[in-house]
Amino acid sequence: MKKLLAALLVVAMIFALAACGSAKPAEQPAAEPAAEPAAEPAPAEPAGPLADEEYAAWVAHGQYKLADGTDNGWGGKDTALYEASSLKAISLDDVKAIDEGLYNTLAGKDIKYLYTIDLIFGTNDAGWNGRFAKDGKLFEANGSYAFKIAKCTADKDGDNVVYGEDVWISDPKVSFVEALTPDTVFYPTWQEEKDENGFSWADNPFVIGGPGLYTLVIAQYKTVSSPGNPGYGVGLVLKEAKDGIDYVEILEWIAADHTYGIIGGFAGSEWGADVAMEADGDNVWKGEVDLKAGDEFKVRADGAWDNSWGVDGFNGGNLVCEADGTYVVTITFADNTNAVVEAVAK
């Protein structure tokens, strides 16, 4: 009996073990499919040219040369020269190919319009000189280094297009410009009164990077010009240095070391002959001329156009006679080349 019970117990254990071995494991939750990596954002499309739709053209003016060697000029050019000296609207990305540093500077600006042109400065004689300041020194430069940009209108005259300057850049009181590349371009003080070096907003900007072929880039910002808040920025990038006219450092002006004369459109001068002036005390010279209403005139030193005085002092505009008569013209020096010219009827 005991043997029979033992046998039954063994059989029961075998069935129990078999049942355990055949049990299915608990089902695990299905794994979540692996998330696909996020797609890279599509690169932004480069902004198109930032063109000014209000004006027919932005035009480069000055007595330098265009990139093809054509002589350029100031306002009043013929249609072909206006169109040849018109700037091209570009995008900010286009500036990368011109100069990385200039691009980085402009990338931090809020730009409204952006233009460029290639120009050759300082290789031809414009026949007059101007001044600029660099590294705390004054220099004299040929007029072929001076330039301005103008926004121009255009009117049809038959088959011809007549361009006209509407806004000069820079222009007194409305367009304060900053130099984006101060090693290559000088902009005068944006103020009506002359500074200690005789500069004001009436003076031309000058190229100060030496003679050569330059790419000029000009940006108009979305801000409005005001003192200390530029509305425009100009950069000049030298592409190719050339032989040309050197700058001359201006040394201290000693008035007594020079001679002075009156020159103008009046009879006996015709912008060719000077009427000599005589010293009349310290730093004062006087001369006498017969003028008619409308005659224009200036005082210049040493019978040359390197240093002249008129409206607004040094290298200012021509003085204009208001009535016929004999006049005593006086030039009085303050310091350096700063002087005042007066004409008083006898």
Digit-coded pLDDT (tens) for 164-178: 999 999 887 888 999
Pair of tokens at residue 207: 């190229």
Supply the pLDDT for residue 38: 53
Which region among 169-173, 200-204, 290-294, 312-316 has the lowest average model confidence (pLDDT)? Answer: 312-316
Using CB atoms within 10 A of its CB, is residue 341 exposed (0-12), middle (13-18) or buried (19+)? Answer: buried
Q: Is the pLDDT of residue 35 over 80?
A: no
Mean pLDDT of 279-292: 95
Nearest of 283, 138, 134 to residue 197 by alpha carbon: 138
Query: Is the separation of the CB atoms in 64 and 121 below 8 Å?
Result: yes
The mean pLDDT of 179-203, rounded to a whole number, is 88
Q: What is the length of the chain?
A: 346
Average pLDDT of span 17-32: 43
Does the pLDDT at position 42 exceed 50?
Answer: no
Q: What distance in Å separates the CA atoms of residue 265 and residue 194, rounded to the nearest whole number? A: 27
Q: Residue 24: in which H helix or E strand, if any?
A: none
Mean pLDDT of 48-65: 96
pLDDT at 19: 42
Backbone torsion region of residue 68, taken as left when φ is above 0, otherwise alpha when ψ lies between -120 and 50, otherwise beta: alpha
pLDDT in the model for residue 37: 54
Question: What pLDDT was estimated at residue 243?
Answer: 97
CA distances from 114 to 52, 175, 217 (A): 8, 15, 7
Model pLDDT, residue 266 = 97
Separation of alpha carbons 340 and 61, rounded Å: 29
Q: What is the pLDDT of residue 160?
A: 84
Ordered structural domains, the chain, with CATH: 57-249 (no CATH), 255-345 (2.60.40.3620)
**Tens of pLDDT along 233-255?**
999 999 999 999 999 998 778 89
